[in-house]
Structure 1
């Protein structure tokens, strides 16, 4: 890999920006900024930890209320989902169509 003038200029500009940021953070205004950032980060961390603690309760409530709302607005939904599950599970009656449809088994590759 060759280092050309573009790469060198990018490195020098990045280093200069780092030095300028360091100088700024050493001032009184920069220290205030750091303290504010630390306070906001700690508040965000506490809020996130609280949300993690409340998540199981929230999802249990969501499940309960969702089931109640579904049953209230669509009374036959439970039966529909049971029938649908049975169809996917393969326990539906075989006398419904009268024809036995089987899927062909592919030949193994030798």
Structure 2
């Protein structure tokens, strides 16, 4: 793979942008920008760590409220899911039961 003029121009522009950014960050205004970015990053990190600490409480509350809402909106849902679970576990747990399998159709070519 050869180097063509587009690759060379891209490399030169990238290098020029890097030099310009380095020169800008050496100025007083650039140093202020870096300090501002560092403080914002530290604030973001603190917020993220706080969110991690609060996550278990949030998910417990979400689970409780979700279950209550489901029970009030669909009162028969709990019985339905229990029956469904029993059918699923019961069919796997019983020995000697045969399950009928439908033939798998051939794929269309």
TM value normalised by structure 1: 0.79
Alpha-carbon shift at residue 86 of structure 1 (Å): 2.1
Aligned to 2:44: 44
Q: CA deviation at 1:71?
A: 1.4
Q: Tell me which residue corresponds to 2:86.
A: 86
Cα 1:90–1:23 change in 2 (3 A) is same
Cα shift at 1:104: 7.2
Moved more, 16-25 or 80-89: 80-89
Alpha-carbon displacement from aligned partner over 1:36-75 (angstroms, at most 9, x marks no partner): 1001100000000111111111101111111111112222
Q: Where does residue 71 of structure 1 map in the other structure?
A: 71
1:97 corresponding residue in structure 2:
none
Q: What is the aligned residue count?
A: 98
Root mean square deviation, CA, Å: 2.2
Inter-partner Cα distance in structure 1 for 2:10 and 2:100: 66
Show the 5 A alignment for 1:1-110. Answer: 1-91=1-91, 102-103=100-101
Q: 1:104 to 1:79 in 2, by over 3 A?
A: closer
C-alpha displacement of 1:90: 4.0
